[in-house]
């Protein structure tokens, strides 16, 4: 499989504190990859190193284009949709205005119809203030907005955070749907290893800023030693 | 009753001037949390430019108006890029101090270029008045109200209906999230300063015929605009405009009906009311009280 996203020896730091120590990973075209690990292992920082919201060194390459010197605006325009921790919803804008912001970098008329195929309920809530949506609805809105960016790569940071198990499952169902029907590549950070491994084909387990283990979802799930040591279930 | 309507229209006209300058303050405050103390002097300076275009270069009043707006816009953008952007990582207080420095610089520069003497500024509107049912309404008042509110409405429509306007609002609410969507927030901030400067220029050109042109002409107006913005809640563009109109009407009613309030007392009375409102509603009339869990 051709690599869509490639990280080679990527390091990142917050001031004096190093958060990533030279990690390398790939995400193939149309692939779902999970990034697992404990709190503070560097999962979020890995996504931020891709989107340019943290200072990084090494090579971040998307579709052959080197992004290491690009800021978040240009990374977004290159084709990465990053749904950050906390979802980055504009809570004081309406649902529809949030969606319009997703299409900000697109030229011409926006195809809202396709989005509504995946998220039909958004249509009746379009004039609602986004902050009044439930946590699950906000996560879905963030997904819909990211989809409107028409990205090559979708990056999700802990989509399950604060959601009920049933809602989490629904979120992952939509992510899988977008992957299978639209061919969207996904890099997802999760604490909930079990549900993430259910959706992903491969996974990397991070430990204190380095990759400890990687493999197919199947391998990681069936290896009891890895499960108890890193995934905790 | 006649006097009441005349006073009302005059108050609304004055208030629309305070309102447009207050809106300029709110635009910048919402985007950057900076109060631009130089907003009034920027308006004064661009009003001088329009005056120079009309009296020294023989330009027609109606042509000088849009050209001045364009100059003011470019001036605002340049100011953001040259002065404010390099201070992006500095504290808000540092930026506020820079705007105060700018206030003094522009004031001195205007005195130096155009002399501090009072100048007559030609009004865009006829000096006659319009009588309906015994109520005399001056064209000056109606024109001022119309132009100010018109400019505010155009800006409002821009923010509500255009893609860039929406992105400017989103960028003010959550810059990090906006950048992840590909919004070049620093570019839009400069645009915001441009709009604020143009709006200030409108208030300057509208007020100049009645207060005459001097380098200090906007200083009292800026204080009224602060009062209007705070009344409206500082974060609310609609609140700023309504705050301005309310303040204008209140002041003109007080001078008309309350004997001891002379024009000298207008400013203290306005600020007295401001204090009372803030004591009762600290977030202003249209402000939202933000409750945070700690």
Q: Which residues of A195-233 are buried (b: 16+ CB within 10 A; e: fewer)?
A: bbbebbbbbbbbbebebebbeebeebbeeeebbeebbee
Q: Which of A84, A105, A149 sits opposite B177 (nearest CB)?
A: A84
Taking the C-alpha atoms of residue A221 and residue B158, their distance in angstroms, rounded to an integer, is 53
Task: Count H helices and E strands in chain A, helices first.
Answer: 9, 10
Closest CA to B38 of B116, B107, B124, B99: B99
What does the pLDDT look like over B119-175, one tens digit per residue? 999 888 888 888 887 788 888 899 999 999 999 899 989 999 999 999 999 999 999
Dihedral (CA of B193, B198, B200, B204) sign: positive
Nearest CA in chain A to B180: A72
Q: How confident is the model at residue B1 (pLDDT cuts 50, 70, 90)?
A: confident
Is a pLDDT exceeding 60 seen at residue A199?
yes
Q: How far is B183 from chain A (nearest CA, A)?
A: 6
pTM of the entire predicted model: 0.88
Q: Which of A88, A100, A149 sits opposite B177 (nearest CB)?
A: A88
User: Mean pLDDT, to the nearest integer, of A55-84?
Assistant: 94
Is a pLDDT exceeding 60 seen at residue B292?
no
Q: Which residue reads 């999700």 in tokens?
A: A156
Is a pLDDT exceeding 70 seen at residue B67?
yes
Q: How many residues does chain B have?
A: 294
Nearest CA in chain B to A86: B177
What does the pLDDT look like over B75-117, one tens digit per residue? 999 999 999 899 988 888 999 999 999 999 999 999 999 999 9
Query: For chain A, how big is the Rg over CA atoms in Å?
Result: 17
Q: Provide the H-helix boundaries in chain B.
A: 2-32, 39-55, 61-79, 92-114, 139-161, 163-173, 175-180, 185-211, 217-232, 237-257, 266-280
Q: How far is A49 from chain B (nearest CA, A)?
A: 12
Nearest CA in chain B to A77: B182
Closest CA to A174 of A148, A216, A151, A144: A144
Closest CA to B225 of B255, B253, B203, B257: B203
Residue B72 backbone class (left: φ over 0; alpha: ψ -120 to 50; beta: rest): alpha
Residue pair B247/B270 in contact by the 8 Å Cβ criterion: yes
| Helix-helix angle A135-148:A95-102, to 10 degrees | 30
What does the pLDDT look like over B198-235, one tens digit per residue? 999 999 999 999 889 999 999 999 999 999 998 888 88
Is a pLDDT exceeding 80 seen at residue B284?
no
Note the ipTM here.
0.93
Q: Could you say which DSSP state residue A122 is in?
A: G
pLDDT given at position B294? 45
Q: For chain B, what is the mean pLDDT?
A: 90
Query: For chain B, how big is the Rg over CA atoms in Å?
Result: 19
- Percent of chain B past pLDDT 70, that is, above it, reads 97
Q: Which of B169, B176, B182 sits opposite A105 (nearest CB)?
A: B182
Contacting residues for B28 by C-beta, under 8 A, at least 6 apart: B34, B35, B36, B39, B192, B193, B196
User: Mean pLDDT, to the nearest integer, of B63-82?
Assistant: 95
Residue pair B119/B51 in contact by the 8 Å Cβ criterion: yes
What does the pLDDT look like over A146-190, one tens digit per residue? 999 999 999 999 999 989 999 999 999 999 999 999 999 999 999
Q: How far is CA A50 from CA A5, A9, B102, in A?
A: 9, 13, 40
Is a pLDDT exceeding 70 seen at residue A137?
yes
User: Mean pLDDT, to the nearest integer, of A109-119?
Assistant: 87
| Helix-helix angle B217-232:B185-211, to 10 degrees | 120
What are the chain A neighbours of B169 within 8 Å (beta carbons)?
Answer: 90, 93, 97
Q: Which of A110-119, A158-167, B255-264 has the lowest mean pLDDT?
A: B255-264
Q: Where are the beta strands (DSSP E) in A84-191?
A: 153-157, 185-189
What are the chain A neighbours of B184 within 8 Å (beta carbons)?
Answer: 73
What are the chain B neighbours of A145 within 8 Å (beta carbons)?
Answer: 181
- Do A90 and B173 lie within an 8 Å CB cutoff? yes
Residue pair A20/A10 in contact by the 8 Å Cβ criterion: yes
pLDDT given at position B276? 86
Q: How far is B171 from chain A (nearest CA, A)?
A: 9
What does the pLDDT look like over B19-38, one tens digit per residue? 999 999 999 998 888 899 99
Residue pair A75/A52 in contact by the 8 Å Cβ criterion: yes
């Amino acid at each position: 499989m051709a690599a869509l996203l490639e990280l080679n020896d990527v390091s990142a730091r917050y001031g004096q504190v190093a958060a990533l120590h030279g990690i390398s990973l790939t995400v193939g075209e149309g692939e779902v990859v999970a990034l697992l690990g404990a709190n503070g292992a560097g999962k979020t920082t890995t996504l931020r190193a891709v989107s340019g919201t943290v200072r990084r060194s090494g090579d971040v390459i998307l579709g052959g284009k080197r992004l290491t010197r690009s800021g978040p605006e240009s990374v977004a325009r290159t084709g990465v949709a990053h749904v950050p921790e906390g979802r980055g919803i504009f809570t004081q804008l309406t649902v529809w205005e949030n969606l319009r912001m997703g299409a900000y970098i697109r030229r011409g008329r926006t195809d809202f119809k396709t989005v509504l195929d995946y998220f039909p309920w958004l249509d009746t809530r379009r004039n609602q203030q986004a902050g009044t949506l439930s946590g699950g609805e906000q996560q879905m809105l963030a997904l819909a907005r990211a989809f409107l960016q028409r990205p090559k790569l979708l990056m999700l940071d802990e989509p399950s955070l604060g959601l009920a198990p049933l809602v989490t499952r629904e979120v992952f169902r939509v992510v899988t749907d977008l992957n299978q029907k639209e061919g969207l590549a996904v890099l997802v950070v999760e604490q909930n290893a079990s549900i993430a491994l259910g959706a992903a084909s491969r996974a990397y387990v991070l430990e204190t800023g380095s990759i400890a283990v990687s493999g197919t979802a199947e391998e990681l799930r069936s290896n009891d030693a890895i499960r108890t040591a890193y995934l905790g279930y | 009753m006649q006097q009441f309507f005349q006073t009302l229209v005059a108050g609304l006209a004055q208030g629309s001037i305070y309102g447009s300058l207050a809106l300029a303050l709110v635009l910048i405050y919402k985007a950057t949390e900076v109060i631009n103390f130089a907003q009034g002097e920027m308006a004064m300076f661009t009003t001088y430019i329009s005056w120079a275009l009309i009296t020294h270069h023989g330009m027609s009043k109606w042509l000088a108006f849009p050209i001045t707006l364009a100059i003011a816009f470019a001036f605002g953008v340049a100011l953001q890029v040259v002065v404010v952007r390099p201070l992006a990582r500095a504290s808000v207080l540092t930026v506020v101090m820079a705007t105060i420095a700018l206030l003094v610089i522009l004031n001195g520069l205007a005195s130096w270029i155009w002399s501090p003497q009072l100048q007559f500024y030609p009004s865009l509107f006829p000096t006659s008045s319009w009588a309906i049912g015994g109520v005399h309404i001056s064209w000056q008042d109606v024109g001022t109200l119309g132009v100010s509110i018109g400019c505010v409405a155009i800006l409002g429509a821009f923010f509500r209906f255009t893609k860039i306007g929406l992105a400017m609002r989103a960028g003010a609410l959550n810059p990090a999230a906006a950048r992840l969507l590909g919004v070049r927030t620093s570019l839009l901030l400069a645009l915001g300063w441009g709009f604020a400067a143009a709006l200030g220029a409108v208030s300057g050109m509208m007020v100049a015929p009645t207060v005459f042109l001097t380098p200090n002409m906007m200083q009292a107006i800026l204080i009224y605009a602060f009062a209007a913005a705070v009344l409206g809640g500082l974060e609310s563009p609609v609140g700023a405009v309504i705050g301005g109109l309310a303040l204008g009407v209140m002041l003109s009613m007080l001078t008309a009906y309350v004997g001891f309030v002379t024009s000298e007392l207008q400013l203290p009375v306005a600020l007295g009311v401001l204090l009372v409102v803030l004591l009762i509603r600290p977030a202003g009339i249209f402000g939202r009280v933000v409750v945070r869990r700690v």
